[in-house]
Amino acid sequence: MKLRGRLSYVQCNRSKRARFGIKFYKICESSSGYCLSFKIYIGNVTDPNLPASTNVVLSLCEPLLDKGHTLFIDNRYSSPDSFRRLTDRQTNVISTVRQNRENKPEDISKTKLKFGEH
């Protein structure tokens, strides 16, 4: 969200036309796009032992965990750690995985899929 003002938690994204703004994280319902929950990035981390992407996913999804839902998440937030924590809480995850992601299982990068396979 574009911002003209002074805040301590303004983010800079050089690839955007409006380079300075407030970073929002949202979780939305897939068919209607209804926003179920959102979080504004202000620089603090809820659990310093977890990566920032896992913190964001777990904090936004807390009300949906242990109910058997399926989450579709962006590859920016997909990591083996977040997948493991979500599946332990009876929540399925679908996402693409970045090739350079740390702690990625070796069998994922070696698997060659044909068109239409998953």
pLDDT class of 46 with cuts at 50, 70, 90? low
Q: What mean pLDDT is predicted for residues 62-82?
A: 87
- Which of 19-23, 62-66, 110-114 reaches the highest mean pLDDT? 62-66
Average pLDDT taken over every residue of the chain: 78
The per-residue pLDDT for 7 is 56
Question: Model-level pTM?
Answer: 0.68
Q: What are the CB-based long-range contacts (under 8 Å, 24+) for 49-58?
A: 50/81, 51/79, 51/81, 51/82, 53/77, 53/78, 53/79, 53/82, 54/79, 54/81, 54/82, 54/85, 56/25, 57/82, 57/86, 58/82, 58/85, 58/86
